Chain A
Amino acid sequence: MPKRVGIEVSLAASEAACVADTDVVAAYPITPQTHIVEHLAELVADGKLDAEFVPVESEHSAMSVCVGSSAAGARTFTATSAQGLALMHEILFIAPALRTPIVMAVTNRALSGPISIWNDHSDIMAERDVGWIQTFAENGQEVFDLIIHAFRVAEDPQVMLPIMVNLDGFTLSHVIEPIEMLSASEVRKYLKPYKPRIVLDPKNPVTMGPVGMPEVYTEAKQQIEAALTDSKKVVVKAWEEFAKLYGRRYKPVETYRTKGAKIVLMTMGSVSETAMTAVDKMRDEGVPVGLLRFRLWRPFPLEEFKRAVKGVKVLAVMDRAISYGSRQGGPVFTEVRSALYGTPKAPQIFGFVAGLGGRDITVGTYEEMVDKAMRYAKKKKGPTYELIGVRER
């Protein structure tokens, strides 16, 4: 039975990369990701993790080092947040194109401006379309588990794509939680050593990252799209095997008390636990409400999502980022609505943007969303989306 210890979630993320026997870590410090990098540096300094720690001069170089390292055949880990993720943007597209299975923890934080170090999802939502698998953790245990899972999926010969594991900055990254820490030997049962098929090796020269002329570029894009779409099978299978070995079960779309629910709240990340409390409270008060969370965001779990909302009358979708000027609120809302377009008996959908830049999301916030969504649904009329909790003065 694995040890259950009280540990800061950031440190648990580093420990996960450690028991996964990471070969190279390249990272640049940014709040609130710092403790992850610091602890990795510590683990390497103490000889607990046999890896090269590359203290780069920027996130752009962090991701570039990771691509080089992964292309040379090393298991590679990094972590970043917000502006750091944005600075990586250019290279984020290239990592999946070169099929480098990098694993990155993203401590979600608001993007400037104004500058804010606090939590929301504007950083990750700006990187939706870069070709990475993206998962979301809700608590410390999930952070640890999803990082182990990420290595297994990323390096699967059928996948060979990089993965971002998202955890909320501060509200999750800086919290001390009881976590079952798997040991390196326990992890080895699940995660075999990385055996890349194509590496930079003088004995077998390959050309990586060539010019894609118009006659091949579309095909190259199509291959990445196909690989990402097909990766869902491996993602799910790897979660099933994780459950068999360690007892904890993960699904692309997680549900809570959705049975018989007429109205369903949709959230992502650590605030989902507050949402569960809100659902419990409202259920006690007789409101037929349930909760649905995306654990897997890329590839979008279309089938699982459609199944999960079958029979639901009203969807209240919470976004923690704004798609400026889309006039539809946030990216989760637009994707959810688009996914259900043309579905017979599709629920009425209302968008809510909340919890930007560290603004608290409380049980009351969810009650407000559910209450509003129900009222709009009853009238069959309401705003497409609204910002929750905007102060008048």
Chain B
Amino acid sequence: MEAALKNFKKFTPKSLPKVEPLAQGHRACQGCGEVLALRMALKAMGTNLIVASATGCMEIITSPYPQTAWNVPWIHVAFENAAAVASGVEAARKALMRKGRIPKQRTTILAVAGDGGTADIGLQALSGALERGHDFVYLCLDNEAYMNTGVQRSSSTPYGAMTTTSPPGKLSIGQNTWKKNMPAIAAAHAIPYVATASPAYYTDLMNKAKKAAMIKGPAYLHVYSPCPTGWRLAPELAVEISRLAVQTKVFPLYEVIDGRYVMSRKIKKPKPVEQYLKLQGRFRHLDKKTIQVIQDRVDREYETLVQKAAMSETEDELTE
């Protein structure tokens, strides 16, 4: 993996590619942070690309027949099987190239799904595809609930969040479970590349998308995707909330390269989690005590991550 990235050229704000694999004019909600993240990832990957999409917001807003927003080949089969469909596309091209039926050219195979399609219903298909080692990129656009069906909780919904199936009430604080750590599950498959990204740090996101595409074998990208509609967030704050999620350590940016954790952005002076929560209607019912519980958990998880990165550095030094 390291070898593949030896001559890696980073994107800078001045060198952003002009290509638009995803055209404008789709039907996303106002201020959608998910389609923004998707567009950036696609720009980074270019047009030598085949996309397998799960059912979800991104699928529904880009493909109402006879219209399509896709300038690259795109297939949608069902909700839980984007990773399996991508596996099939990859296997087919591998066989056809070997048999001389299509030109020998490496094409990026990208599976796209939301958090429900990844952490819940699609987890098995994803695990299978990662374990089998297909040469593909899996992009999880995490908007932290089933937004397409009307904001129902997923295993990726954060603690305390209000959704239509985790409503706060006399006996409930809202979502009463902690967000599933999907990047860690992906990394546990010992795949060459795992990364988290946020649309607020768009060059970082695009560089990670480009790396994921360059690396041979499975790569997993977990991208923070703010949903103003489902989060009860002002549409103009999608990028701001993405930045705050990183600055409060709620959504840390890091890479796992061949099992080594690397922090993309160290948060030396974190902002309080409350600042992040209070902008979103989905958290407005939380009291001080619950917010403190969340703050403690965020601190602990961030510390674990930092330790993993430090351990990776120590290992590097020992092997050098």
Contact = CB atoms under 8 A, between A and B. Distances in A.
Contact of B84 (A61, A212, A216): A61
Interface stretch (A30-38, A138-146, A202-210, A338-346): A202-210
Interface string B69-94: 01111111110110011111101111
A303 to B, nearest CB: 34
- Among the interface residues B71, B73, B78, B80, which one has the most CB atoms of the partner chain A within 10 A? B73
A83 interface: no
A202 B78 contact: no
A58 B87 CA distance: 13
A83 to B, nearest CB: 15
A211 B26 CA distance: 13
Interface in A182-215: 193, 200-202, 204-213
A54 interface: yes
B285 to A, nearest CB: 35
Interface in B48-104: 48-50, 52, 59-60, 63-66, 68, 70-78, 80-81, 84-89, 91-96, 98-99, 101-102
A74 B107 CA distance: 16
A52 B94 CA distance: 8
B17 interface: no
A129 to B, nearest CB: 18
Contact of A51 (B93, B95, B128): B95
A39 to B, nearest CB: 18
A207 B70 contact: yes
Nearest to A202: B48
A201 B109 CA distance: 11
B47 interface: yes
Nearest to A204: B73
A24 B76 contact: no
A43 interface: no
A274 to B, nearest CB: 40
Given A55-B132, A207-B74, A216 B95 contact: no
Contacts of B65: 210-213, 216
A54 B98 CA distance: 16
Interface residues of B, number: 47
A98 B64 contact: no
A72 interface: yes
Interface size class of A (residues with CB under 8 A): 35 or more
B125 interface: yes
Contact of B87 (A23, A51, A54): A54
B64 A213 contact: yes
Interface in B261-300: none
Nearest to B64: A211
Given A205-B70, A206-B73, A71 B60 contact: no
B92 A74 contact: yes
B152 interface: no
Contacts of B91: 24, 26, 52, 54, 65, 68-69, 74
A371 to B, nearest CB: 49
A57 interface: yes
A76 interface: yes
Contact of B59 (A60, A211, A213): A211
B128 A61 contact: yes
A65 to B, nearest CB: 4
B122 to A, nearest CB: 10
30 contacts: A24-B91, A52-B92, A56-B87, A58-B124, A60-B84, A60-B125, A61-B84, A61-B128, A64-B77, A64-B87, A64-B125, A65-B85, A66-B88, A67-B88, A68-B85, A69-B88, A69-B89, A98-B77, A193-B101, A200-B50, A200-B74, A201-B50, A201-B102, A202-B73, A202-B107, A205-B70, A206-B74, A209-B77, A210-B68, A213-B64
Query: Which 3 A-B pairs have CB atoms at the shortest separation, nearest pair first?
Result: A68-B88, A57-B128, A74-B92
Interface of A: 23-24, 26, 50-52, 54-58, 60-61, 64-74, 76, 90-91, 94, 98, 193, 200-202, 204-213, 216
